[in-house]
């Protein structure tokens, strides 16, 4: 990477980090582009070299932060050395992500309030930064290892993401209807039911 590319990356990272800090303290609606560039110490014109508007940088942040959660979960899964079946691997990843969000409630609030399926899907298939993962390839590999064919795998992961996102937000932040530790067994039973609903014919 040349000096020019390095400088561009430093400025982009500064804008992303500053925007995330402001979004998680002031909120997206109360944060202006002027706030972001002033705190990042760059000109407003520099902002538009990387992002269309504040919603573009918000979406890129959601994508990047979501990718980091999945990357950490996948690394933990690989490091565990456990031989898990398809359902158990999905539950392991979900459990790890929930634990990460439980330890970082500002991140949970930011993602839960700004996550849409379109943004999430883009996050998993179009890495924003060099350390982001392409979860689609990992998910496809998991599907290939499953002992049965999965019917509508995108619908299945959509259902799981929506379920986990909504339940985590209420349970972790407000202990509603119960705290996350008490909720987990019921949540994981629901996820297993979702997976089983999408389980098709056994592979030859």
Q: What SS3 class is residue 201? A: strand
> What pLDDT is recorded for position 102?
95
Chain centroid to CA 135: how far? 10
Q: What SS3 class is residue 200? A: strand
Summarize pLDDT for 100-121 with one digit per residue, the tens: 999 999 998 888 777 666 666 6
The pair of structure tokens assigned to 170 is 């209420």
Where does the chain hold its CATH 1.10.357 domain(s)?
Answer: 58-202
Return the minimum-mean-pLDDT range out of 19-28, 58-67, 113-122. Answer: 113-122
* Terminal Cα distance for the chain, rounded: 47
> What's the pLDDT band for 99 if we cut at 50, 70, 90?
very high
Q: Give burial (CB, 10 Å; 0-12/13-18/19+) of 192.
A: middle
Long-range pairs, 59-62, Cβ under 8 A, ≥24: 59/114, 59/119, 59/122, 60/16, 60/128, 61/16, 61/19, 61/20, 61/23, 61/110, 62/110, 62/111, 62/114, 62/115, 62/119, 62/120, 62/123
> What pLDDT is recorded for position 73?
94
The owner of tokens 């599907």 is: 143
- CATH superfamily, with its number, for domain 1-51: Homeodomain-like (1.10.10.60)
Where does the chain hold its CATH 1.10.10.60 domain(s)?
Answer: 1-51
> What pLDDT is recorded for position 122?
65
The pair of structure tokens assigned to 150 is 């999965």
Domain 58-202 fold? Tetracycline Repressor; domain 2 (1.10.357)
Helices (H), the chain: 3-25, 33-40, 44-50, 54-80, 86-103, 105-114, 117-125, 135-145, 153-174, 180-198
> What's the pLDDT band for 78 if we cut at 50, 70, 90?
very high
CB 86 within 8 A of CB 142: yes
Residue 137 has pLDDT above 90, yes or no: no
CB 195 within 8 A of CB 90: yes
């Amino acid at each position: 990477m040349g000096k020019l590319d390095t400088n561009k990356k430093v400025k982009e990272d500064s804008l992303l980090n500053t925007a995330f800090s402001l979004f998680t303290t002031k909120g997206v609606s109360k944060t202006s582009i002027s706030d972001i560039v002033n705190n990042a110490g760059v000109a407003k014109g520099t902002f538009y070299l990387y992002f269309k508007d504040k919603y573009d940088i918000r979406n890129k942040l959601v994508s990047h932060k979501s990718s980091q959660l999945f990357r950490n979960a996948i690394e933990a899964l690989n490091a565990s050395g456990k031989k898990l079946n398809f359902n158990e691997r999905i539950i392991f990843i979900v459990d790890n992500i929930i634990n990460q969000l439980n330890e970082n409630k500002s991140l949970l609030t930011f993602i839960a309030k700004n996550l849409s399926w379109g943004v999430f899907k883009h996050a998993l298939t179009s890495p924003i930064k060099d350390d982001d993962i392409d979860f689609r390839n990992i998910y496809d590999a998991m599907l290939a290892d499953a002992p049965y064919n999965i019917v509508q795998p995108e619908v299945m992961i959509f259902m799981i993401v929506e379920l986990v996102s909504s339940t985590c937000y209420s349970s972790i932040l407000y202990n509603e209807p119960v705290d996350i530790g008490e909720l987990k067994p019921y949540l994981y039973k629901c996820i297993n039911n979702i997976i089983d609903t999408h389980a098709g014919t056994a592979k030859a």
